[in-house]
Structure 1
Amino acid sequence: MSLLSAYLRRQYKLLLLLLGFFVIFAAVFSLYDLPSEAVAYAAALCLALGLALFAVGYSRFLARHRELRLLLRQVREKVLPLPPPRGLLEEDYQALVQALCQNRARLAVENENRLRDMTDYYTFWAHQIKTPIAALGLLLQEREDSGALEVELLKIEQYVEMVLSYLRLDSSSTDYVLQDCDLDGILRGAVRKLAKMFILKKITLDFQETGKTVLTDGKWLGFVVEQVLSNALKYTPEGGTIRIYGDRDTVVIADDGIGIRPEDLPRVFEKGFTGYNGRTERKSTGIGLYLSKMVMERLYHGITVTSRPGQGTLVRLDLSRGKRVAE
C-alpha cells in the first residue's frame, strides 16, 4: 500500500464530511438560484485552501512516518527516543510504549540473571561429577571383566562433556584458540579415548594418517571428531568397519552401519532431532551433531553428512575455511 493511499485511508472520515458539506451547499445554492460565477469562485477558493491543507498534512504524515521507521531500528533500546507528542492521545500512547520498553528491559535482565545462575549451577555440577567418574574408572581397571562397564562409564563421561560443551558454546568467556595443530594427533586422541568401544563391539578401524597440519582449535575439533566417531560406533553393527582418512583439506569418517534415511538427512544438524534410527534404537540425544555443527561454524570449518540406509554414513569435516581466515 502506497503512502498516499495510506494517508487517504487515515483521513477518510474528514473527506466524507467535506463531501457531505459540498452536497449540502450545492443543494442550497441550486434552490436559491444563486449566480453560478459566485458559486464557482467560492468553490475554487475552498478547493485551493483544501489542497494547501492537504499538502501540509501529507508532508507531516511523511515526516512522522520517517521518524517512526528510524525508531524501528532502535527497538532494542531500553528507552526509545520518541518524537514530541502531538496531542494528549499521542502522549498517552508514548507513555504506554515507554512503560512496555522498561518492562521488557526488566524482564530481559531477570532472564539473563536466571540463565547465568542456571549455567553456573550446571557447570559446577558437570565439573563435580567428573570426580566420581574418574574414581569409578580407576576401580574398574582393577577388575578383569569390566570392559562393558568401562564403556558405559565412558558414555556417561561423554554426556558430561556434551553438557559442558553446550554450556560453553554460547558463553562470552569461551575463547577459541586458532593455531597450527597436528591433525593426526587430534584424530588419534579421539580414537584412543573411544578404544574400549571399538574393542567391545569388535569394530575394525581403518585409520590412514593424513600428515596434515591445520589451523584450528585442537580441543574443540577433537570434541567434534569424538562426537562423529561416537555416532559411527553407535550405529555400526558388531564386526563392522570405520574408516578415517584425508581428502585434501577434508577429513572423512565413514562407517558401514545402518545409515540414515533420505528424509532425515536434511535435519541431522537440527537441535534435538533424532530421526528414525534414533527413535528406533533409542540411542540418540539429538544434540551431538547439532553441537558439532555449531562448533565447526565457530572454527570457520564445515561439516556435511551423506548416507544410504543399510550401506553406512560418511561425514566430511572441511578444514579449508580456517586456512582462508588466517590468510
Structure 2
Amino acid sequence: MNDTPLFGAWLASRKLVAAAGLFCALSGVLIFWLYGLPGEAIAYLLCLCCIGTSFWAVLSFVRFWRKHKILRKMEEAIFVTAEDLPETTTLIEEDYQHLIQRLVRENRQRQAAADSMLEDLTSYYTLWVHQIKTPIAAMDLLLQAGPDRATEMEIELQKIAQYVDMVLQYLRLDSTDKDLVLQRCQLDAVVRQTVRKYAKLFILKKIQLVFQETKWEVLSDEKWLCFLLEQLLSNALKYTPEGGKISIFLEGETNLVIADTGIGIAPEDLPRVFEKGFTGNNGRMDKKATGIGLYLCRRVTNLLGHTISIASEPGVGTQVLLGLGRPQFDIE
C-alpha cells in the first residue's frame, strides 16, 4: 500500500459494495421509468441514493484512513503489540487480528527461547574461558621448567582437548540434529577406550584402576556414551587424591558403576549436582569447576534414554550409577 494512493486503495477495497449500490440505484430508476412514474420521483430517488452513498463513502473513507494511519504508525514503531491494532468492523478483520495476535505470541515465545539460549551460551562460554585458561597457564609454566615435564604437558593438553570437546557437545545438545545413532556396542570396548585416554593421568596421580569386565552389549550411541564416560571418569580423577582408587564394574544386570575413593560430595549438595552451573562445596574449593560436566551428563543420559544417579559420602568417595538398560523409547 506504500505506492498506492490512499483514495484508490479505499475505492479498490469497496468496489463490490459501490457496484452493488450503483446496480440498486439504476434498478430503482429503471423500475420507476417502466411504471411510468413522474420524473420528479425518479430525481428524488437519485437524490436520496446520492446523499446516502456520499454519506456512506465519507464515513467509510474516514474509518479506512484512520485504520491506515494506525497501522502505518505501528509499522514504524520499534515495539509493536497486538493490543494496539485498530478496532475491527468485520468478521474477516477480526479473524486477521486473531491470527496476528497468535503470531505475536508465538514470536514472543521464540524470542524468549532465543534470549534464554543466548544467555546460557554467554554464561557457559564465560565459564569455559576461565576453565581453559588454567591448563594453558600450566603448560606455559611447564615449558619454562624444561623438556623433562613432557608427560605433565601432555595431560594439560589433554584437558584443553577435553574442554574443546565439551563445548562442541554442549552446542550439539541444543541443536535440532543431535546426530543420534542407536546401535549395539560392546560396553567393555567403550570403557577401555575411555580409560586409555586418561592412562597417563592415572599413572601421574598413582591412582589404582579396578575394572571388572562386563561382557555386555548395550543399545546406545557409542560416541555419546564415550563422552558420558569421559566426563564421569574425568570427575573421578579430579576429586580422587594421589594414591586413591577408581573402580568400574557392573551392578545388577543393567547398571554400570564408576566408584572412586575421592573427597566425596556433601549431603546437602547431592540433590543439586546435576543442575547447570552448580558447583557445590567441592566446586568452591576447586576454582576450575564450572558446574557443567554433570549437567551435560544428565542431558546426555536423557538423550540416550538411560538413567544416572549419584551416591556419595564426604571423605569416603562417590559412586555414579549408570542405568544402561534398554532406552526408554521405541526405536523406529
Same fold (TM over 0.5): yes
Partner of 1:58: none
2:226 to 195, 208, 222: 222
Report the TM-score, using the length of structure 2 for normalisation. Answer: 0.59
Partner of 1:276: 281
2:316 to 311, 319, 324: 311
- SS of the residue 2:326 aligns to: helix
Instruction: Give the deviation of 1:288 after TM superposition.
Output: 0.6
1:258 to 254, 260, 263: 263
Find out whether 1:298 has 2:303 as its counterpart: yes
Deviation per residue, 1:243-297 (Å, 9 max, x gap): 0011221110000000000000000000010000111122321001110111111
The 8 Å contact of residues 269 and 281 in structure 2, kept in 1 or not, is answered as yes
Count of equivalent residues: 225
Partner of 2:73: none
Partner of 1:244: 248
- SS of the residue 1:261 aligns to: coil
Q: Which amino acid aligns with 2:159?
A: K
Take 1:277 and 1:156, find their aligned partners in 2: how far apart are those partners? 21
Partner of 2:104: 102
Q: Which amino acid aligns with 1:161?
A: D
Take 1:206 and 1:177, find their aligned partners in 2: how far apart are those partners? 30
Deviation per residue, 1:1-56 (Å, 9 max, x gap): xxxxxxxxxxxxxxxxxxxxxxxxxxxxxxxxxxxxxxxxxxxxxxxxxxxxxxxx
Superposition map of 1:110-125 within 5 A: none
1:183 to 182, 187, 207: 187
From the superposition, tell whether residues 111 and 292 of structure 1 become closer, same or farther in structure 2 (CA, over 3 Å). closer
From the superposition, tell whether residues 154 and 263 of structure 1 become closer, same or farther in structure 2 (CA, over 3 Å). same
Q: Report the more deviating stretch, 146-155 or 236-245.
A: 146-155
Q: Which amino acid aligns with 1:163?
A: V
The 8 Å contact of residues 242 and 254 in structure 1, kept in 2 or not, is answered as yes
Take 2:233 and 2:169, find their aligned partners in 1: how far apart are those partners? 17
- SS of the residue 1:320 aligns to: coil
Higher CA-based Rg: 2
Take 1:225 and 1:271, find their aligned partners in 2: how far apart are those partners? 18
The 8 Å contact of residues 308 and 322 in structure 2, kept in 1 or not, is answered as yes
Q: Which amino acid aligns with 1:172?
A: T
1:322 to 317, 324, 327: 327
The 8 Å contact of residues 181 and 216 in structure 1, kept in 2 or not, is answered as yes
Take 1:235 and 1:249, find their aligned partners in 2: how far apart are those partners? 26
Q: Which amino acid aligns with 1:178?
A: L
Take 2:321 and 2:113, find their aligned partners in 1: how far apart are those partners? 38
Superposition map of 1:1-327 within 5 A: 98=100, 101-102=103-104, 105=107, 108=110, 143-247=147-251, 248-322=253-327, 325-326=330-331
Take 1:225 and 1:110, find their aligned partners in 2: how far apart are those partners? 33
Take 2:210 and 2:217, find their aligned partners in 1: how far apart are those partners? 20
- Identify unmatched segments of 5+ residues in structure 2: 1-80
Take 2:246 and 2:112, find their aligned partners in 1: how far apart are those partners? 48
Q: Which amino acid aligns with 1:294?
A: R
Instruction: Give the deviation of 1:105 after TM superposition.
Output: 2.2
Instruction: Give the deviation of 1:323 after TM superposition.
Output: 7.8
Take 2:117 and 2:309, find their aligned partners in 1: how far apart are those partners? 32
Q: Which amino acid aligns with 2:254?
A: D
Instruction: Give the deviation of 1:148 after TM superposition.
Output: 1.4
- SS of the residue 1:181 aligns to: strand
Take 1:225 and 1:163, find their aligned partners in 2: how far apart are those partners? 16
Q: What value does the CA root-mean-square deviation take over the aligned residues?
A: 3.8
Take 1:163 and 1:244, find their aligned partners in 2: how far apart are those partners? 26
- SS of the residue 1:146 aligns to: helix
From the superposition, tell whether residues 114 and 227 of structure 1 become closer, same or farther in structure 2 (CA, over 3 Å). closer
From the superposition, tell whether residues 303 and 228 of structure 1 become closer, same or farther in structure 2 (CA, over 3 Å). same
Report the TM-score, using the length of structure 1 for normalisation. Answer: 0.60
Partner of 2:26: none
- Identify unmatched segments of 5+ residues in structure 1: 1-78
Instruction: Give the deviation of 1:108 after TM superposition.
Output: 3.7
The 8 Å contact of residues 179 and 216 in structure 1, kept in 2 or not, is answered as yes
The 8 Å contact of residues 214 and 323 in structure 1, kept in 2 or not, is answered as no
Instruction: Give the deviation of 1:151 after TM superposition.
Output: 1.1
Take 2:109 and 2:306, find their aligned partners in 1: how far apart are those partners? 36
From the superposition, tell whether residues 219 and 87 of structure 1 become closer, same or farther in structure 2 (CA, over 3 Å). same
From the superposition, tell whether residues 206 and 107 of structure 1 become closer, same or farther in structure 2 (CA, over 3 Å). closer
The 8 Å contact of residues 219 and 326 in structure 2, kept in 1 or not, is answered as no
Q: Report the more deviating stretch, 251-260 or 146-155.
A: 146-155
The 8 Å contact of residues 306 and 328 in structure 2, kept in 1 or not, is answered as no
